[in-house]
Structure 1
Amino acid sequence: MSQQKLMIVDDEEVLCHSLRIDLEDDGYEVGVFHDGESAVAALAEVNPGVVLLDLRLPRMDGIAVLKRIREFDEEIKTIMMTAYGDTQKTVETVKNGAYDFINKPFELDELKAIIKNAFESRSLKREVTYLRYKQEKFKKYFDLVGKSEKMLDIYRQIDIIAQTRDTTVLILGESGTGKELVAEAIHHKSERSKESFMEINCASLPENLLESELFGYEKGAFTDAKEAKKGLFELADGGTVFLDEVGELPVATQAKLLRFLEKKSFKRLGSGKELKVDVRVVAATNRDLNRAIANKQFRNDLYYRLNVVSLFLPPLRDRQDDILLLANYFLDSFCREMGKPSLKLTDEVAAIFENYPWNGNVRELRNVVERIVIFADSGRVGTDLLPGEMLQSAPSLASGPVGDTGLQDNNLDQTLARVEREIIRKTLAEAGGNKTKTAELLGISRFSLGRRIDRLSVEN
């Protein structure tokens, strides 16, 4: 965990020195300033979470400094240090947004308690703000980015499914397609949105631990059960439980899950008491459950209980119109997150992105873009920033009878653009200039074809 940053603003040098030593011993990163002007000037550099501010300062008094701090960042918690005779001024500081105050002389333990509470309050406020932001974003499908017809159909299905309160949903699709985002979107667009969304990866825990995580346990249920613990189904009462990789559930746990789905009740481990909860279950898997059923690895009756409504997420290679949209979305997100200027894909890199198979789907694309942003040192994203496996696959795009398209002058970007231009030109000729037919022959949408024709200046 990074150190919590604290600023002390007081003209009593001995007091500041003493406080700095004690607070740094407690793990805080402390900056000391003896007048308000220098403290205000250093706000951006120090970026404190909490400020200890004396009310009486030379030139710029504490109230003026407080106002400047609030203008800089309202989330900074300011603790005023005042003399006993400053009651009216103290009330004024609170009205102007001070978090708390302490009278001089004070007990160090009392001050430390106020500081600790201030940091906790700041952390809680940021968490609440983030959760509100996240919930608001979910109304617009959050990170489910895409305008292809297949994604528009997914959005329609989410809206319909979200209107049902209890229907169990099974989300299918390859790894990395965003199944967990769909599950969260269903929850946050439903009437259960104000309640908990709990998720668990069924492949990440051993059988005994998985069962206790789902159903909870009583004190003494097993050796390490020092006290009772609620499971996910109990914690999510009124909300949604997302079972990721449900195809990996052990057979014994499958039986208990089936019983829960049938009765909406369960028993904690070590308890004979039946607990009833109101929970919606959304499950996801990239496994072929029909094959698992045939191999007696998955219960047929559980499959039908889970598969009341199924939703299939297409792989990224079948959403070609969304590839650049996603790439630019992640570029913007990571640039903001890392504090870097905006980046733009070159035409050559865009062509590689659109033709790359993306076997890891959206997750792989996201990881590639994150790597690009980390190493980018200019506004353009050229092939030098692409991982080796993408560059190795790029020449294969030039295979086929498209004339002399070999790598010339070791310029991969120009070669790829030339290859793509030639393929489109020849296919257009074969289709008699019909762009709809050309798009069908190339396996892309007409919209994508038009964009490529414009980008590559294809003559037709």
Structure 2
Amino acid sequence: MLNSVIVVDDEAPIREAVEQWLTLSGFTVQVFSRAEACLAQLPDAFPGVILSDVRMPGMDGLQLLAELQAKDRDLPVILLTGHGDVPMAVDAMRDGAYDFLEKPFTPERLLGSLRRALEKRALVLDNRTLHEQADHRSRLDATLLGMSLTMQTLRRQVLDLSPLPVNVLIRGETGSGKEMVARCLHDFGSRADKPFVAVNCAAIPEPLFEAELFGHESGAFTGAQGKRVGKLEFAHGGTVFLDEIESMPLAQQVKLLRVIQERRIERLGSNQSIEIDVRIIAATKPDLLDEARAGRFREDLAYRLNIAELRLPPLRDRREDIPMLFSHFSRQAAQRLARSAPVLSGAQLSHLLSHDWPGNVRELANAAERQILGLDNPAAEALPGGQSLVAQQEAFEAHCIRSALQRHRGDIKAVMNELQVPRRTLNEKMQRHGLVREDFLAEGNSPR
């Protein structure tokens, strides 16, 4: 239950009396003598109620109401009025005020109005959270593509971890989408409006590593002309993505560990300590603890980075996602190159499903673009992998049902007629492949 109240009144005796009543009744109270000060310090999505006098010097209560309505139309505002201001207060309620109390008012009348307003505020904020979560799920489904159980689990983990202030380690093979997952962790969290800085640890020469990460002052070393802000400092308030972290030189690992522990950096050539606030997301292909046992990585840093771990499955372990991904990349490439995207034949799809895709999603995207350019034929170029016949049949079946659902926009009867399967069989197969009819409905369609 919310219990925050802001009181705005230019009369000190009233402020003090109301503050005392509310504090003794269990509310968290903040008081202001001027409306301007309240507006300046009001946080976004304030989880409480504003209690304001109408007549005040400078900005009065009605002007404050208008400003608050512009910021958040659902924020409850209760006005305190004198006897002559009642008609004005009634008009204010038509304009969005939650309630008004005529002076003098009893503590019971005040507490009753506040509790009702707080209940309403709690419902509004809960509803906003639900809508925001639904929006995040929808956007994430369109970013991290795939209907396999492993991808469904990964999306849930990303949504769970994105708002948390913890470092994350992403494990996955080359081309499996580690940077995209890191970007989603940033975009769906509270740091989304701050910088996302990606650093490929394998691409920076060791002599330049410290300057890249921590920055330098003018003359710190030969060629250091002018001051330069490093990646960590530039990302203040946001996220640093350290790709191929296993390639970081051991000498820099020590300094990174210190940054994580102390949240401070020093530029090369400077004795000044600079406070930074960054979330670190690291990505690696090998197990960092295995690297530590081999003497190539610091064990203490591995534990600091791996507060939470996300494992990205290789494409060969989620073959049922291949048709959807190939179609997505084909459409993207066709739009970019102003060409049409051909429909895959059964033979082409079979070869796509049988290939091992050692380059994972990156290789699949490349294959789709080459097909649009007419450079590759998936049926001819894809090499057979080690997948069983049953697994290939399952993946092909999922593709056929998904394609039919897309073509018919979720019309189950039309899908049954095209695929010539009874309703019960279709329902069982859709459930097994994680296909939900509502995902394919055209806007305005009604369930059948």
TM-score normalised by the shorter chain: which range applies? 0.5 to 0.7
- 1:132-281, aligned counterparts within 5 Å? 139-140=139-140, 143-164=143-164, 166-281=165-280
Give 1:320 deviation, angstroms: 1.5
Q: 1:227 to 1:146 in 2, by over 3 A?
A: same
* Matching of residue 393 in structure 1 with residue 392 in structure 2: no
Q: 1:296 to 1:389 in 2, by over 3 A?
A: farther
In 2, the alpha carbon distance for the partners of 1:203 and 1:397 equals: 33
Q: Which position in structure 2 is the counterpart of 1:332?
A: 331
1:321–1:448 contact (8 Å) kept in structure 2: no
In 2, the alpha carbon distance for the partners of 1:144 and 1:287 equals: 22
In 2, the alpha carbon distance for the partners of 1:154 and 1:235 equals: 29
Aligned-residue RMSD, C-alpha: 3.2
TM-score by length of 2: 0.56
1:139–1:188 contact (8 Å) kept in structure 2: no
Residue 229 of structure 2 aligns to a residue whose secondary structure is coil
Deviations 1:357-393 (A, max 9, x none): 11111111111111111117xxxxxxx6138652x53
Q: Which position in structure 2 is the counterpart of 1:287?
A: 286
Counterpart AA for 2:194:
E
Q: 1:252 to 1:137 in 2, by over 3 A?
A: same
In 2, the alpha carbon distance for the partners of 1:229 and 1:137 equals: 39
Counterpart AA for 1:253:
Q
Q: Which position in structure 2 is the counterpart of 1:323?
A: 322
Give 1:143 deviation, angstroms: 3.7
Q: 1:365 to 1:190 in 2, by over 3 A?
A: same
Residue 334 of structure 1 aligns to a residue whose secondary structure is helix
In 2, the alpha carbon distance for the partners of 1:259 and 1:159 equals: 29
Deviations 1:403-445 (A, max 9, x none): xxxxxxxxxxxxx99xx99xxxxxxxxxxxxx9xxx9xxxxx9
Deviations 1:180-233 (A, max 9, x none): 000000000001000100001000011121211111000000111110000111
Q: Specify every segment of 5 or more residues in structure 1 that has no aligned partner in the other structure, as ranges.
A: 1-134, 377-383, 401-415, 422-434, 440-444, 450-460
Give 1:292 deviation, angstroms: 1.0
Deviations 1:163-183 (A, max 9, x none): 21x200000011111000000
Residue 203 of structure 1 aligns to a residue whose secondary structure is helix
Which segments of structure 1 move beyond 4 Å, counting only runs of 4 or more? 135-138, 396-400
Deviations 1:97-136 (A, max 9, x none): xxxxxxxxxxxxxxxxxxxxxxxxxxxxxxxxxxxxxx99
Deviations 1:62-114 (A, max 9, x none): xxxxxxxxxxxxxxxxxxxxxxxxxxxxxxxxxxxxxxxxxxxxxxxxxxxxx
2:341–2:372 contact (8 Å) kept in structure 1: no
Give 1:138 deviation, angstroms: 9.5
Q: Which position in structure 1 is the counterpart of 2:433?
A: 447
2:352–2:379 contact (8 Å) kept in structure 1: no
Residue 284 of structure 1 aligns to a residue whose secondary structure is strand
Counterpart AA for 1:393:
P
Q: 1:190 to 1:357 in 2, by over 3 A?
A: same
In 2, the alpha carbon distance for the partners of 1:141 and 1:448 equals: 13
1:217–1:268 contact (8 Å) kept in structure 2: yes
Give 1:141 deviation, angstroms: 5.4
1:246–1:285 contact (8 Å) kept in structure 2: yes
Give 1:447 deviation, angstroms: 2.9
1:142–1:185 contact (8 Å) kept in structure 2: no
Counterpart AA for 1:386:
P
In 1, the alpha carbon distance for the partners of 2:289 and 2:138 equals: 32
The number of residues matched between the two structures is 270
In 2, the alpha carbon distance for the partners of 1:397 and 1:185 equals: 31
Residue 344 of structure 1 aligns to a residue whose secondary structure is coil
Q: Which position in structure 2 is the counterpart of 1:57?
A: none
Q: 1:306 to 1:138 in 2, by over 3 A?
A: farther
Give 1:344 deviation, angstroms: 0.9
In 1, the alpha carbon distance for the partners of 2:200 and 2:266 equals: 21
Counterpart AA for 2:433:
F
Q: 1:196 to 1:136 in 2, by over 3 A?
A: farther
In 2, the alpha carbon distance for the partners of 1:142 and 1:275 equals: 39
Could you tell me the percent identity over the aligned residues?
A: 38
TM-score by length of 1: 0.54
Q: Which position in structure 1 is the counterpart of 2:69?
A: none
Give 1:337 deviation, angstroms: 0.7
Give 1:137 deviation, angstroms: 11
Counterpart AA for 2:236:
D
In 2, the alpha carbon distance for the partners of 1:339 and 1:242 equals: 34
Give 1:399 deviation, angstroms: 9.7
In 2, the alpha carbon distance for the partners of 1:216 and 1:138 equals: 39
Q: 1:319 to 1:398 in 2, by over 3 A?
A: closer
2:136–2:188 contact (8 Å) kept in structure 1: no
